[in-house]
Amino acid sequence: MRNYGSKLKDFFLLGRAFAVLVFASLACPGAAHSFNLPEKLQYDLTWAGIKAGEASLEVRDEGAWISIISTARSAKWLSLFYVVDDRVESRLSKERSLRSMGRPLNYRLALREGRHRKNKEVIFDQHNSKVTYIDYLDKERKEFAVPAMTFDPISSFYYLRTLRLEVGKPVHVTIFDSKKVWHVEVQVLRKERIEVPAGVFDTILVKPLMKSEGIFYRKGEIYIWLTDDQRRIPVLLKTKVKVGSINASLTGGIY
138-to-28, 63, 141 alpha-carbon distances in Å: 42, 33, 9
Q: pLDDT higher for 59 or 147?
A: 147
Using alpha carbons, select from 61, 70, 98, 73 the residue that is nearest to residue 8: 73
Report whether the peptide linkage leading into residue 38 is cis, meaning its omega lies within 30 degrees of zero.
yes
45 vs 19 pLDDT, higher one: 45
How high is the pLDDT of residue 216? 39
**Integer Cα distance of 73 and 69 in angstroms:** 13
**Which is more confidently placed, 20 or 208?**
208
More confident residue, 3 or 130: 130
pLDDT, tens digit, 9 for 90 and up, residues 20-41: 333 222 223 334 444 467 889 9
Determine the average pLDDT of the residues in 158-164: 79
Q: How confident is the model at residue 152 (pLDDT cuts 50, 70, 90)?
A: very high
Average pLDDT of the chain to the nearest whole number: 81
By 3-state DSSP, what share of the chain in percent is helix, strand and coil, each rounded to 5?
Answer: 10, 50, 35
What confidence score (pLDDT) does residue 1 get? Answer: 45
Taking only the tens place, the pLDDT of each residue in 215-246 is: 434 456 889 999 999 888 999 999 876 667 78
The class level of CATH for 2-250 reads: mainly beta
Cα four-point dihedral sign 157, 161, 167, 169? negative
